[in-house]
Structure 1
């Protein structure tokens, strides 16, 4: 487990999401005879921070749990995946999801920072098979993540912003509500939602665009569409911002008041000066 913990901690450091996928129950995997991961998590002899790290991850099982994109399921159904002349279903799912493949370092064949995946796919319309080879990011040790850090960073930045994005997070109230997400969801204009998300994706990539200070360390991002949409945020790190709330020109004054209230609440909870 030492190597796995190192992989997870290093991946988080470089911006990966705290989520793992496993075909079967991750907690049932035996680390040694009659000693599954579930026992490891409750072993007082194991470093408590290591156990907390694994517990902090969202665990999804089976591999495509909560994946609703029909294109992913269709590709899986029409493809066979293999690696080193062995069936590699889990590596294939990692490829389809554009995620990092993680293995236990239980065999020398897993001691690589990338793996070549053979993909044989059936074209549903022509009924012809095609074969291609793809290199996927793989890690069984922390050093493998470090060797892929630039690829991982580029991949994360290329993803569209979403309301669970760790690189551009949303403020969350005590009741679990995210004011910005609630505001976006309330908009009836689907194009407006797409434009706002596109703007936030640009911000995530380091391009704030047109903005101004509104006091108390907050900035207002202007979105030139509709009734003068705006998004409010505060800086929480080097080139990292916390999204607070949004609104338009007609509610600007109250939106700024609310943003400052959310910002003060966040700083008090996080002990930020």
Structure 2
């Protein structure tokens, strides 16, 4: 069984972060390991508290994983401070990680900031250049480039500009654009592809970005080429959102149905 690692924050509500990543790994048939960077007090309505773990704890978790597991792909999510980003970056460089998926998590679904403003430069200078692929959404792309992205053509230009930061591939996610379809743009050297799916009317979208990125990481761990990994993850995220529409978990932005192909959500009723 292929093994993958997620380095991210813990979501006590279980819909995003480490919890969503491990569910996505499992759904893809990949064994998931984890390094927790921050503990959030969180539910479907928002984040009420964030506790960042000490750097030596984060570093020792990473060391423990690489001392024992054969990690085929690493995915990073919430890395809230410049110091945490630098520590993670240095450790991954030390272990010569080849397949790194960087999801530049900045803001939670409820609007809480998950990345300190002074940490952005460290993300751009230290971690993104190591990435095999980065997976920003429109808002994150706008923040990283200090520009507005209003349409698909803007997305293509922005994705190519984001590549200048050093990653091998960029997947710019277009779900925030006003459109009937959620279209994502993948660019790389001699690669420019789009992936489209009809938008689904549902408030249960908490953890969508985490799930998408970790699903890509899982399929990269299994040896898929980048285009097949993204397309398979796109199909998975569509079904996970679609099948969650009638779930009643929490009173805010509910989670996805990560295991939509099982009967785990059926009740005795």
Fold shared, TM-score > 0.5 on shorter chain = no
**TM-score, length of structure 2 as denominator length:** 0.25
TM-score, normalisation: structure 1: 0.25
| Bigger CA radius of gyration | 1
